[in-house]
């Protein structure tokens, strides 16, 4: 009898063929020390399909449900293993059992068989009798436990055992990694059989791209000492980079060319170490478009660049005939890029912290498929200081594992670089980090302003003082405050916040740049969004007290080009109640200021983060998948993944249909959902769930199409400040 694994459109694939193909692919995906266990996972994952009940289901469309993923885990449990092999048995069982539904929680020994945990499902052995008997696999597939000596050594490295947190964390990491190899292999083998004409290959001419990057650098002016200092910093970074091991720390002042420097380092690593891809990780979606656009302008068509984040969807519309026919080059490339979001098999990837870390700590196969392609990569973490402090342990830990065990390399990039040395020692054991800039004498050229402290002031006084300068910027902590301060200003003024659509903000920034270039009087009030990726230059900056990174990023917009001998940055504090996070971070900044320290100095930045990490030490340390109760077969993969969130407050996008372009984008949804969704992004505002729910309840937001929501009353959107409503006691209040 031919046992069939898949059947579609007249094509069939036998179980034996599928298992053998998947085993080879999984082995090829895995790093050397996991190749044996990856091969075994692929060879056995679908042996449950040998049951006659499954064959009835697939050959005769039987409606009888059959659970085909558990048998492989049960059969593994029947093998006679030594104690060392027994430890790694569970890793295989987690993976084969969850290859469709996602990694299960381990559970507890008292779980009954109707509970979907590893322990619970292993108790279902009695279910597989008569027509559920899958033992026919033994005629075609031989299960042997792989050689796990190398993996076992990795797990025990440092003399630790399974009762140690580091052992459990490594075990969980390698389980997710093995799961990634298996699930991507499983999917790709099936795809190859039933859609053999699919083309996934993307362009990656790295040699040409590297030449184009150098050609781009030739355009940089070298007229001033500040401009020449950028070249010196780059050369210093390259020299130190040549002997770096796992992680490089690239701390460079705002305006010194960090982005170009990081790309130059990445291409050096591609050339000298044979890495396969560059993954550029950015904290904000608002600056990803700009970064990806810059890369495309530099590299042209030499290399395909994949953007993967919440604002750049490749969700496939099955009714879209264009994607089925792939009728032109643009559609073909778009389809290839869409497929690459599934497993990150792309030469250059630009993504967010959220997408990156919530993938590697996920439990679903759809997210974890990409994890194995983090191997042999150069990872660049831009603005690394913005990693959520309470999640530093898992974030740093996984970067350490990827660089140490998956042959990758990481670059930490920031103008306000934290001193991670103690955290690296605690959570990234065995990882080496290298400071790329050791001679910081050139930093003096970027100290172009003086910091002042305005204590016990108010917003009106700040607004009045700002207008004594020809050009000034006021940065506040809340969107509500930004609108209030904007109303206090007179003369030529502009407002920026995320209550405005990206298109609206882009238009306003262009107007601001025009005013600045013409040396006209202008005052701008903004939230912190201006601190990342917005290159503006003011004579004075006023920053409401917050974290030192916020203060210095705002300060980087003062006398940015060094046209004046000196600029003024005012840090101000009012009686306005701030969030607990702003309060705790601002308090450290205030203590540094009142002690007479130069808050822009390296020593102040180091001291700031030292105190901040001390304040949050308990929160940082507890964010582990390990507890005293966890053992190898009770790891809570799902529970931990669901609790792991880089963004605490989720949001929903709302379309502001107040211009012809937005209306055209909405109409495009009817004929091309993917391009319609992308076209709507510049005309959308993200609302936190409480705001969104209340606005829907009030009726000023309605669902236009599946998952697309539109503001129905444009009186609630102001041409200067964007959305103009507040939520008070679950009621919408027009402002």
CATH number for the domain harbouring residue 100? 1.10.3210
Q: Are 305 and 292 in contact (CB under 8 A)?
A: yes
Tell me: do 435 and 455 sit in the same domain. no
Determine the Cα–Cα distance for residues 660 and 481; give it in Å rounded to an integer: 31
User: Which DSSP state fits 149?
Assistant: H
As beta bridge partners, residue 306 has 349
Tell me: do 226 and 179 sit in the same domain. no
Determine the Cα–Cα distance for residues 667 and 206; give it in Å rounded to an integer: 39
Q: Is 394 left (phi over 0), alpha (psi -120 to 50) or beta?
A: alpha
- What is residue 727's predicted lDDT score, i.e. its pLDDT? 54
Using the Cα atoms of residue 114, residue 115, residue 119 and residue 121 in order, give the sign of their dihedral.
positive
Segment 482-511 mean pLDDT: 95
Determine the Cα–Cα distance for residues 638 and 363; give it in Å rounded to an integer: 6
- What is residue 537's predicted lDDT score, i.e. its pLDDT? 92
User: Which DSSP state fits 90?
Assistant: H
pLDDT category, 299, cuts 50, 70, 90? very high
Q: Provide the domain limits for residue 554.
A: 448-599
Q: Rounded to 5 degrees, what are φ and ψ at 236?
A: -65, -45
Query: Residue 643 has which token pair?
Result: 């609790």
Answer whether residue 406 shows pLDDT above 70.
yes
Tell me: do 135 and 225 sit in the same domain. no
Residues 6 or more apart whose Cβ sits within 8 Å of residue 426: none
Answer whether residue 703 shows pLDDT above 50.
yes
Tell me: do 178 and 218 sit in the same domain. no
Determine the Cα–Cα distance for residues 118 and 104; give it in Å rounded to an integer: 6
Query: Residue 135 has which token pair?
Result: 């033992």
Tell me: do 428 and 469 sit in the same domain. no
Segment 677-687 mean pLDDT: 88
Tell me: do 225 and 184 sit in the same domain. no
Question: Which of these, 600, 526, 531, 597, lies nearest to 567 by C-alpha position?
Answer: 600
Specify the number of domains making up the chain. Answer: 4
Segment 690-699 mean pLDDT: 88
Q: Give a yes or no: residue 534 inside a domain.
A: yes
Q: Give a yes or no: residue 608 inside a domain.
A: no
What's the pLDDT tens digit per position in 614-647? Answer: 999 999 999 999 999 999 999 999 999 999 988 7
Segment 64-71 mean pLDDT: 86
Tell me: do 264 and 340 sit in the same domain. yes
- What is residue 386's predicted lDDT score, i.e. its pLDDT? 92
What's the pLDDT tens digit per position in 172-193? Answer: 999 999 999 999 999 999 999 8
Share of the chain above pLDDT 90, in %: 70
- State pTM to two decimals: 0.90
Q: Give a yes or no: residue 199 inside a domain.
A: no
Tell me: do 316 and 403 sit in the same domain. yes
CATH number for the domain harbouring residue 468? 3.40.50.300
Tell me: do 456 and 434 sit in the same domain. no
Q: How many CB atoms lie within 10 A of CB 198?
A: 13
Determine the Cα–Cα distance for residues 621 and 625; give it in Å rounded to an integer: 11
Tell me: do 544 and 682 sit in the same domain. no
Question: Which of these, 568, 487, 558, 561, lies nearest to 525 by C-alpha position?
Answer: 487
User: Which residue is listed with tokens 């600029």?
Assistant: 567
Tell me: do 458 and 425 sit in the same domain. no
Q: Give a yes or no: residue 632 inside a domain.
A: no
Tell me: do 261 and 405 sit in the same domain. yes
Query: Residue 642 has which token pair?
Result: 């669901």
Query: Residue 138 has which token pair?
Result: 């033994």
As beta bridge partners, residue 494 has 524
Q: Give a yes or no: residue 691 inside a domain.
A: yes
pLDDT category, 315, cuts 50, 70, 90? very low
CA atoms within 13 A on the CB side of 144: 4
**214-228, 259-273, 300-314, 506-520: which has the minimum mean pLDDT?**
300-314
- What is residue 619's predicted lDDT score, i.e. its pLDDT? 92
Helix or strand or coil: residue 305?
A: strand
Segment 310-326 mean pLDDT: 43
Answer whether residue 331 shows pLDDT above 70.
no
Domain boundary among 599, 634, 665: 599
Domain boundary among 165, 194, 223: 194
Q: Give a yes or no: residue 92 inside a domain.
A: yes
Q: Give a yes or no: residue 684 inside a domain.
A: yes
Question: Which of these, 283, 461, 506, 469, lies nearest to 383 by C-alpha position?
Answer: 283
Determine the Cα–Cα distance for residues 339 and 358; give it in Å rounded to an integer: 19
What's the pLDDT tens digit per position in 349-361? Answer: 999 999 999 899 9
What's the pLDDT tens digit per position in 85-143? Answer: 999 999 999 999 999 999 999 999 999 999 999 999 999 988 887 778 999 999 999 99
Task: Answer with the residue of higher pLDDT: 211 or 59.
Answer: 211
Domain boundary among 375, 410, 439: 439
Answer whether residue 363 shows pLDDT above 60.
yes
Q: Give a yes or no: residue 309 inside a domain.
A: yes
């Amino acid at each position: 009898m031919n046992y069939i694994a898949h059947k579609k459109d007249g094509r069939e694939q036998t179980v034996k063929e599928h298992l053998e193909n998947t085993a080879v692919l999984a082995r090829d995906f895995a790093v050397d020390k996991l190749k044996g266990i990856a091969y075994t996972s692929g060879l056995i994952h679908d042996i449950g399909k040998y049951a006659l009940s499954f064959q009835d289901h697939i050959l005769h469309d039987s409606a009888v449900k059959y659970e085909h993923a558990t048998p492989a885990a049960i059969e593994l449990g029947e093998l006679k293993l030594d104690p060392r092999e027994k430890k790694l048995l569970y890793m295989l069982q987690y993976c084969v059992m969850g290859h469709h539904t996602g990694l299960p929680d381990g559970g507890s020994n008292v779980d009954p068989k109707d509970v979907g945990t590893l322990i619970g499902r292993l108790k279902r052995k009695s279910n597989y009798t008569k027509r559920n008997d899958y033992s026919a696999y033994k005629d075609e597939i031989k299960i042997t436990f792989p050689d796990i000596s190398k993996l076992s050594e990795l797990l025990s490295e440092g003399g630790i055992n399974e009762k140690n947190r580091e052992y459990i964390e490594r075990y969980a990491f390698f389980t997710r990694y093995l799961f990634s190899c298996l699930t991507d292999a499983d999917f790709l083998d099936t795809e190859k059989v039933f859609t053999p004409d699919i083309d996934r290959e993307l362009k990656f001419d790295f040699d040409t791209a590297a030449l184009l990057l150098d050609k781009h650098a030739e355009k940089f002016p070298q007229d001033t000492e500040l401009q020449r200092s950028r070249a010196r910093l780059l050369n210093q970074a390259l020299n130190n980079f040549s002997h770096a091991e796992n992680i490089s720390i690239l701390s460079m002042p705002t305006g010194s060319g960090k982005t170009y420097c990081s790309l130059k380092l990445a291409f050096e690593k591609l050339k000298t170490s044979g890495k396969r891809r560059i993954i550029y990780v950015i904290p904000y979606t608002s600056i990803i478009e700009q970064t990806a656009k810059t890369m495309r302008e530099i590299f042209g068509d030499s290399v395909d660049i994949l953007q993967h984040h919440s604002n750049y969807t490749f969700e496939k519309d099955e009714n879209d005939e264009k994607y089925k026919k792939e009728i032109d080059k643009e559609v073909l490339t778009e389809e290839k890029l869409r497929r690459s979001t599934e497993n990150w098999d792309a030469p250059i990837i630009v993504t967010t912290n959220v997408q990156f870390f919530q993938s590697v700590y996920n439990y679903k196969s759809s997210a974890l498929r990409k994890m194995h392609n983090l191997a042999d990569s150069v990872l660049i973490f831009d603005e690394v200081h913005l990693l959520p402090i309470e999640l530093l342990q898992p974030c740093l830990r996984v970067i350490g594992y990827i660089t140490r065990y998956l042959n990758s390399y990481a670059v930490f990039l920031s103008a306000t670089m934290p001193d991670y040395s103690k955290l690296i020692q605690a959570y990234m054991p065995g990882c080496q980090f290298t400071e790329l800039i050791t001679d910081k004498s050139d930093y003096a050229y970027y100290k172009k302003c003086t910091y002042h402290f305005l204590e016990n002031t108010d917003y009106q006084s700040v607004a009045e003082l700002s207008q004594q300068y020809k050009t000034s910027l006021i940065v506040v902590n809340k969107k509500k405050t930004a609108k209030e301060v904007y109303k206090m200003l007179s003369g030529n003024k502009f407002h920026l916040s995320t209550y405005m659509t990206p298109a609206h903000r882009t238009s306003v920034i262009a107007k601001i740049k025009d005013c600045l270039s013409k040396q006209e009087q202008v005052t701008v009030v903004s939230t912190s969004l201006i601190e990342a990726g917005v290159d503006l230059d003011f004579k004075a900056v006023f920053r409401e007290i917050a974290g030192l990174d916020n203060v210095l990023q705002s300060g980087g917009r003062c006398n940015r080009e060094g046209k004046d001998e000196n600029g003024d940055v005012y840090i101000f504090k009012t009686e306005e109640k701030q969030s607990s996070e702003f309060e705790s971070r601002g308090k450290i900044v205030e203590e540094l200021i009142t002690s007479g320290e130069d808050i822009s100095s390296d020593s102040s930045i180091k001291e700031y983060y030292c105190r901040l990490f001390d304040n949050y030490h308990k929160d940082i340390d507890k964010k582990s998948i390990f507890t005293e109760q966890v053992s190898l077969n009770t790891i809570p993969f799902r529970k931990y993944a669901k609790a792991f969130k880089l963004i605490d407050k989720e949001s929903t996008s709302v379309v502001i249909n107040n211009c012809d372009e937005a209306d055209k984008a909405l109409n495009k949804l009817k004929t091309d959902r993917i391009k319609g969704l992308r076209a709507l992004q510049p005309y959308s505002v993200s609302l936190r769930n409480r705001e969104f729910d209340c606005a829907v309840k009030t009726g000023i937001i309605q669902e236009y199409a599946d998952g697309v929501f539109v503001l129905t009353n444009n009186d609630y959107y102001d041409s200067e400040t964007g959305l103009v409503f507040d939520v008070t006691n679950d009621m919408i209040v027009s402002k």
